[in-house]
Amino acid sequence: MLVNSKELLLDAKKNGYAISHFNINNLEWTKYILEAMQELGQPVILGVSEGAKKYMGGFYTVSSMVNGLLHDLKITIPVVLHLDHGTSFSSCKEAIDAGFTSVMIDASSYPFGENVRITREVVEYAHPLGVSVEAELGHIGGSEDNITSSSTNATLEESIEFVRLTGVDSFAPALGSVHGLYRGTANLDFDTMKKIHENVDVPLVLHGASGIEEEKIRRAISCGISKINVNTEFQIAWHNDVLKFVKEHPDAYDPRLVIASGSIAIKNAVKEKCALFSKEAK
């Protein structure tokens, strides 16, 4: 069933684990992720970027597809349908009106005051409709949806003020992670992460988790991270298996066979990440 993320993330914050946020890019990826999570019996946040929304046709198409899969696959776990990095109030509103149960407004490229204003506007629209809101402070750089940007870390003082002024349900402070592939190793600011966790009431979110070493993921969870976003690692795992299939079956032309050849890779990646994010991983 579709739910918002608020209670799920508060439980994760209270009990020291992280909820999985996996980006979806088409019907097949959504199906594989839901099947794997149903088998594990764990909740999941399905993230939809604006680029993925455009690729799949629109927010209503995505919402209808997810709801159809929940029904036909008999999915009983809690599922959050989440706009990942919504760039404007209008984009967040469109997703909410289409049936999304959670949105992220990313106004982090604006000055602090404008970020607060835009985020607050989304919160005021979303909350009466039972939709949870995530926001970002600082800027998580790297490459996503063919857009490359640099990073700017959030500070403790601004993080406390931002959460207080906006009323968000979850908070993604930029603390050294990047979108896409890492060049070298991740340089996460665990000290500030822990201090933010201790000084705000809402769960913290880690974006750009693909490629971060497992010990750093576990440490981030111990420092208060309650939601972890993964996308690029799934893309790479899927690509590798599909590439192998195409090389071994050069005459295969049925798109169902080609796309499905990466299904095991995605399901295995889901299970590996869930094991890492769980309470037992500590």
- Residues catalogued as catalytic: 84
Q: Please spell the DSSP secondary structure of 260-281, one letter per residue.
A: HTTHHHHHHHHHHHHHHHSGGG
Rounded distance between C-alpha atoms, residue 258 and residue 245, angstroms:
7
Rounded distance between C-alpha atoms, residue 150 and residue 141, angstroms:
4
Nearest to 177 by CA among 223, 133, 242, 121: 223
The partner residues of 62 in beta bridges, in order of sequence, read none
Pairing of strands 147-149, 142-144: antiparallel
The partner residues of 136 in beta bridges, in order of sequence, read 172
Nearest to 81 by CA among 12, 151, 155, 21: 21
Nearest to 36 by CA among 89, 90, 3, 77: 77
Q: Which helix (H) or strand (E) holds 202?
A: none
